[in-house]
Chains A and B, each alone.
Chain A
Amino acid sequence: MNSTTILVADDEPHIRHVVSAKLKNAGYDVLVAEDGREAYELAKANHPSLIVTDCQMPEMSGLELCGRLRSEADTADIPALILTARGFSLDAKDLEGTNIREVLAKPFSPRELLSKVQQHLNAASMPVAKA
């Protein structure tokens, strides 16, 4: 891959649309998924550099998606950012067994999302100790 690929997973079409637009404008390649299962399949097939996923999705939740990817060798190192519309934030216990680096609450700012994406992409290029 010449440029960095980011996988965006969200069941809300408007969110998918605005996040991909923002990332594309910033020069990234974007893959979109409508639900957890589609996201899993795309991740396995394309090995994106980073995943941006919603928490609640049909078929498979964001947490479950990240858990499965983390447990599989070829996708274990892909960092993830998770968006949550939940009233309470996720705690460390929820994130165990995933490669989620940051939790962003909805409504989120696309600018902030982009900066986090860039931050974690840079960090990911350094070796990460496995949990």
Chain B
Amino acid sequence: MKTQIQPWSAADEFDDESPLAIVAESTTESSAPAGGDQPFRARIGPRWALAPLAAAALIEAMQWGGPIQARLMSVLSGACLLGAGLALWLGLKTQRRQMQDLLLGAGSTSRQKSGPRLTGDLRDFEATLRTHLERIEASVQKSRDDGLSLGYRLAATEKRHTRAVLDCLADAVIVVDSGGRLAYANEPAGTLFGFKPDDEAKRAAAEMIANETLVQQLTTTLRSPLKSRRHAELAMGEPTFDVWLTHAAEGPSAEGEGGFVVAVLRDATREKAASRVMSEFVSHVSHELRTPLSSLKAYVEMLMTGEAEDEQTRKEYFGIIDAETDRMARLIDEILNISRIESGVVKVSREPVSLSLVVREVVDVMKPHAEKKQIRLSDDISPIAHEVLADRDMMKQCVLNLVSNAVKYTPDGGKVRVRLAVDESNRRAVVEVTDSGLGIPESDLPKMFQKFFRVKANSKIAKGTGLGLNLVKNIVETVHGGQVGVRSKVNEGSTFSIALPLV
């Protein structure tokens, strides 16, 4: 077990790179080194250095003899001490050097074989150190791999999630890259243009999108400055779409390269249809309101300019103004009612309602009007119980509208009958109002319950807003879950019916 004395070199001895620093570098990236910690006990100097020390002590002990021998013994012991010191110093230096070599060489485990040959204690130290360092390296590598794989998995998951979200949208999303190729399309887009969005092959957008206008829009947007946003309307056969196109930048660069276009398509068909219906409605309403308003204005002006010379005429004019004001108020009420029911805002009180009572009340109210036209108004109420869960006032309004219509559109001397029966098989109570009036042409029957619809042929015999039946339909069907119906024959008469579920 002899230590090889290495040649001393200034470069090695004064090497500034502390071995400890190298160890520190490799430990920062990893957590605690794998495996148990083995405490390392450093041994200062080789064991044989103790021998001269022991000899020196022995010699000192032998000094208890004569003077010449004593001086000789002192010199010998001094020499022994010196020798011990020298040996110690040499041992330490060598050890330090070997440790340095060890640590410097331990950076790459591949150089294992070409490391310095060492003494026992240093060998143990070396083995421990090597194990630690190997574990550290493995740990670092694993962390790097885990990190990469985790990062990759996270990115892949995020991509899947993003795609799933985009596929859930109602709108179609299309992305076209700066080369005009289709980079991405969500599911709705695929459905709309008839291709599978999963197809990873990036083909020219012009190839994949059959709509020329859209392709043109995409191209134009690509040529527009970055961050610009455009809107267009796209008609694809019947449905129309609102398209928003954005020229987005890939990154913080902005030289016109690396941009891409995102197009979002939204189905505007329903909106357009709804707004058409709305504007028709508004047009109708304003027309209906202008009519009584015209009377009001005209008569007021006549009164103001003194053209109603006598009391009689003045009274007449005031009467007309009053009546027309009521007419407008009624119209506005009807419209609001219908509107509220349709939007579900109306307050409905549901209670068991006896329809027979409702029918009798309405007949009583309408009798005077019928008599004025010599119309026979009768009721036919079945004795079986017919209670329905309904809003009493609304029920009355429905029956009243039907009977009022019947009387209005029946010429003098005719008849109107209100029938209340139970439809056992369907568990429904049915109110039928039959008249011997003008009847309704077959082509008009499907439109009877539409807003503002009036049968042209019958518009002479009576005025109407065309909202009465629509109100009935809304109350019966929307609010109460029942059903309205009509049967008719021109010049013979009509039957309007209301069916409601029994309680």
Contacts and interface: CB of A to CB of B under 8 A. Distances in A.
A15 interface: yes
A110 B302 CA distance: 7
Contacts of A107: 290, 293-294, 296-298
B501 to A, nearest CB: 40
B305 interface: yes
B30 interface: no
A83 B293 CA distance: 13
Contact of A22 (B282, B302, B324, B459): B302
Chain A interface category by residue count: 20 to 34
Contacts, number: 64
Given A22-B302, A58-B459, A111-B301, A85 B294 contact: yes
A108 B302 contact: no
Contacts of B324: 14
B299 interface: yes
Contacts of B297: 107-109
A58 B291 contact: no
B307 A106 contact: no
A109 B294 CA distance: 8
Nearest to B286: A87
B460 interface: yes
Contacts of A110: 298, 301-302
B287 interface: yes
A19 B298 CA distance: 8
A21 B290 CA distance: 21
Contacts of B293: 106-107
Contacts of A111: 301, 305
B290 A18 contact: no
B460 A106 contact: no
B302 A21 contact: yes
Interface string A94-119: 00000000000011111100000000
Interface string A13-52: 0110111011001000000001100000000000000000
18 contacts: A14-B295, A14-B298, A14-B320, A15-B295, A15-B298, A18-B295, A22-B307, A25-B307, A35-B460, A58-B456, A58-B459, A58-B460, A85-B290, A106-B290, A106-B294, A107-B296, A110-B301, A110-B302
Given A34-B460, A85-B287, A106-B293, 5 more contacts: A83-B294, A85-B290, A86-B287, A87-B282, A108-B298
Interface of A: 11-12, 14-15, 17-19, 21-22, 25, 34-35, 56, 58-59, 83, 85-87, 106-111
Interface of B: 282-283, 286-287, 290-291, 293-299, 301-302, 305, 307, 320, 324, 456, 459-460
